[in-house]
Structures are given as structure tokens and as C-alpha cells.
Amino acid sequence: MTNNSALRVVIVGGGFGGLYAAKAMPAALRVTLIDLRNFHLFQPLLYQVATGELSPANVAVPLRSLLRRRPHAQVLLAEVVDFDIAARQIILADGRVEYDSLVVAAGMKFNYFGHDDWRPLAPGLKTIEDATTIRARLLTAFEMAERSNDPAARRRWLTFVIVGGGATGVELAGALAELARYTLRHDFRSINPADARILLVEGRNRLLEAFPDDLSSRTQSTLETLGVTVYTGAIVTDVRSQEVSVERGGATEVIPTGNVLWTAGVRTTPLADRLAAATGAATDRLGRLVVEPDLTLAGHPEIFVIGDMAHFAHQGGQPLPGVAPVAMQQGRYVAKVLARRTAGKPSPPFHYHDRGNMAVIGRSAAVADLYCCHLAGFFAWMAWLFIHLLYLAQFQNRLLVLIQWAWNYFTWNRSARLITEPPKTREER
């Protein structure tokens, strides 16, 4: 199956960048894709797992499935801990792997801006386990409110604070508001789930700063119609187990709640620091590695860095945003560069084709900043549906997701409302 004299390409990370690179690599190369997990995660839909709309397997596809028809590509489940650049080796937790060309696409993690102690109190949404943990927390909060006889405790259980008004924060707030208002409407006997207070806290003066002004204000008003309270120009200054402090207009409000979700910012993983240290690459304030026009590191034409962890200076010096289309295009570009190198040909610099930006707010409501126009409402939502179905990595997932969405839409129901972290019973304690 493999050609032992072929050049070895090692790809670190099976996200959008790494997967699209692996899929596009020419068959003349020996490709190894290394990830700690056995699946590719369709991150843009992860918030729907956290809010009970989709199941984990709807948004995650085994990497081996995705590469099964590429016998020149193999998947290795392993943890990359460092790089030996001089020896051209990747250092795993339990071994080493040699490469001729290296593609690093290890993504980002949430940034708590120096408050890493907030992480367990205000979980972020990056992994499948984050999503099922958050789902369990949200649903448990309603259960605890139902069981409580103390109005203050009940109020606290039914207060949800989402930190960060980017796409993930907006999508979570909208999905949570609909869960409380519609899906759970007939489910409880002592509380009215629609009484839930959902607060979206954004530090800047508008939501969705990557979008134009008119779509930001449209997003805010749509969320408010759904019952979400939007605080802009507001900073979370403390997170404790039963309350958060929010500073806004000079005053500090203390909000009793144990339900805090974090979507407020990202930075690179420690692996990016190690790669920067090993190669001497420059990094920006989020830890992203500054790449050349061909996505390699300066002085290391054999090392490519792509996706969220790359700082690629776009028009006017602004780095490209950390979104799936950038990573996908960069993955495919790297495969093309390596194919051309094999043929002894030079490559043109990477160019990002920006096809627009979208965020969904809820049922029949989304915003889309497209090349042609700004869309909001039902048509933006249809466009969002169509594009996400198009990109879902495997046909079956598309079909199942479509049916699940259709069911959710017409019945206002969500079937994946499982609390799957088992409560500790007295026997186990």
C-alpha cells in the first residue's frame, strides 16, 4: 500500500486544516495524520450538541472513515508533545515520527485572560466532551430549579450567563433561549422554563464584531425578541461558583448564577509555543505563528502552519480570522504546494477567497455578510442551513442532521436532551 521511498508528510491535527490537507495530498507522498482523537469535529455545529439539538455522532466523523479511500494516508492516534526540528522528527508522548514535510494545524483553545481558575466554573465549547458537559449542566439547572422551594435558589438556577458575543456566544444564547421558551415548555410542573434569564455579555460595544454594523444590531434585536438580555461594553470581572461580577458603565453588578459559559476569546495551545521556540518563528499576542506568503515558517520551507494557529497577514496586515473556510483553503493550498514541489515547480502565494460570514440566531433567524449583500432573517437562515449541510463531512451525517433539524423545526422538540454525566450516587461516594 505504501511506497517506502516516497516523501513523508506529517500533519498534526485533524481539524478543518489538517483534514483538508490530508485529503488533498498527492498519492505520491506518504501522509501521516496525527490527532489525539479518532474523529474530525465539525466545530461550527458543536453548540447544537450543547443545547440538545444534535448528537455527538452528527457532528463528528471518524478520521479513518474520511481517509479510508486514500491508502497512501494513515491516521495515528497520538499526542504530539514537541518538535525536533534538526532531526526532522515529531516527538510524541510515546515515540517519535520522522518527516520530510510537516504541516501543523493544532488549533486554539479558550483564553481566560489570566484567570485559568475560571475554566471549570465557566466551561468553553471546544470538544465533544465540553458539549455534553455543558448540555448536562444546562439541563440539570432546570431540574434543580424544579426541585427547589427557595425562590432565590430557583432564580439562581434559572439564570444563565454567556460570556462573549461572537458567533458562538450568539448561537448559544439563541439556542438556549429557544430551549427554555419552546422545547421545555410543557416539561416542568413547578417552574416555567420561559422564566429563565439569559444574559449575553460582550466587552465591545456591539455583538458579532466581525460583521457589519447593521447585522450586529439586527442580531441584538432578534436575541432580545427571544428574551435574551444583551449587555454590550460589559466585562466579566469575577467568576465564583454561585455568582459572577459584571462591570458595565463604571458600575459592578453581581449576578447570582452557577451557569456560566465562556466563549470570550481564544489563544494557541502550548504546542504552538513549542514550535515557535524550536523554529524561532515570530508569534502574535494570541500566540499564533507568523507565516510566510506560502504558509511556511521563515527559514523552514519544510514546515507549514495552517488554520487558527497561523497568523497570515491578509490585506492591510490584518491576520485572517480563525474560521473553518480559512483552514480548509489553507489545507488544500499546502497539498498543492507539495505536489508542485515534487514536480519541481514553484507555487504562487496563498490567497484567501472570502465567501462571507454567517451566524445563526435561532429558528428561522440568522445573519449573513455575503459578497453580494447583507442578509438577515429567514433567507439568511436558509443560506446558513444549506451551506452547513453542504460542508458536513459525510453524506449520512448530512441526511441525519437534515432530518433531525426538520423534526426540531416542525415539532419545536429536541431529542438529544440527555444528561449523560452520571450523578454520583451515595453507593459510589
Closest CB to its own copies among 76 and 385?
76
Closest CB to its own copies among 121 and 400?
400
7 binds its own copies (CB under 8 A): no
283 binds its own copies (CB under 8 A): no
The catalytic residue among 79, 98, 129, 171 is 171
Return the C-alpha cell found at 86: 534538526
Q: In the complex, what is the shortest distance from the CB of residue 293 to its own copies, in angstroms, rounded to a whole number? A: 33
User: What is the C-alpha to C-alpha distance for residues 317 and 356, in angstroms, rounded to an integer?
Assistant: 19
| Pairing mode, strands 296-297 and 95-98 | unpaired
194 binds its own copies (CB under 8 A): no
1 binds its own copies (CB under 8 A): yes
Q: Is-contact 324 43, C-beta < 8 A?
A: yes
Closest CB to its own copies among 157 and 231?
157
Per CB under 8 A, contacts with its own copies among 305-364 are: none
Looking at 36, 87, 277, 282, which residue binds its own copies (CB under 8 A)? 36
The distance of Cα 292 from the centroid of its chain, to the nearest Å, equals 25
Looking at 27, 28, 93, 254, which residue binds its own copies (CB under 8 A)? 93
187 binds its own copies (CB under 8 A): yes
Looking at 26, 56, 227, 322, which residue binds its own copies (CB under 8 A)? 56
57 binds its own copies (CB under 8 A): yes
| Pairing mode, strands 296-297 and 300-305 | antiparallel
Give the side-chain half-sphere CA count within 13 A for 165: 27
E-assigned strands of 80-123?
Answer: 80-84, 89-92, 95-98, 101-104, 108-110
Closest CB to its own copies among 2 and 221?
2
DSSP state string for 124-162: B--SHHHHHHHHHHHHHHHHHHHH---HHHHHHHTEEEE
Looking at 3, 192, 342, 411, which residue binds its own copies (CB under 8 A)? 411
399 binds its own copies (CB under 8 A): yes
404 binds its own copies (CB under 8 A): yes
DSSP H helices, 248-348, are: 270-279, 324-342
E-assigned strands of 228-288?
Answer: 228-231, 234-239, 243-248, 251-256, 259-262, 266-268
Q: Kindly write out the interface string for residues 118-137 of this chain, putting x where it contacts its own copies by CB under 8 A and - elsewhere.
A: ---------xxx--x-----
3 binds its own copies (CB under 8 A): no
Looking at 285, 345, 353, 426, which residue binds its own copies (CB under 8 A)? 426
153 binds its own copies (CB under 8 A): no
Looking at 294, 400, 405, 412, which residue binds its own copies (CB under 8 A)? 400
Return the C-alpha cell found at 323: 474560521
Which residue, 298, 348, 358, 308, is CA-closest to 328? 308
286 binds its own copies (CB under 8 A): no
User: What is the C-alpha to C-alpha distance for residues 406 and 13, in angstroms, rounded to an integer?
Assistant: 33
Closest CB to its own copies among 16 and 142?
142
5 binds its own copies (CB under 8 A): no
> Is 129 noted as a catalytic residue in this protein?
no
55 binds its own copies (CB under 8 A): yes
Q: In the complex, what is the shortest distance from the CB of residue 412 to its own copies, in angstroms, rounded to a whole number? A: 11
Closest CB to its own copies among 254 and 403?
403
Residues that bind its own copies (rule: CB under 8 A) add up to a total of 62
The distance of Cα 171 from the centroid of its chain, to the nearest Å, equals 12
What's the count of helices (H) and strands (E) in the chain, helices before strands? 12, 25
**Which residues have a Cβ under 8 Å from the Cβ of 376 and sit 6 or more positions away?**
215, 218, 219, 222, 365, 366, 367, 368
User: What is the C-alpha to C-alpha distance for residues 103 and 306, in angstroms, rounded to an integer?
Assistant: 7
Residues facing residue 220 across a β-bridge: none
Candidate segments 72-80, 160-168, 256-264, 308-316, binder of its own copies by CB under 8 A: 72-80
Q: Is 425 exposed, middle or buried (0-12, 13-18, 19+ CB in 10 A)?
A: exposed
Closest CB to its own copies among 183 and 296?
183
Which residues are known to be catalytic?
171
Site residues, its own copies (CB under 8 A): 1-2, 36-39, 55-58, 60-62, 64-65, 68-69, 71, 74, 76-79, 81, 93, 127-129, 132, 139-140, 143, 147, 184, 186-190, 270, 394, 396-397, 399-400, 403-404, 407, 411, 413, 415-423, 425-427
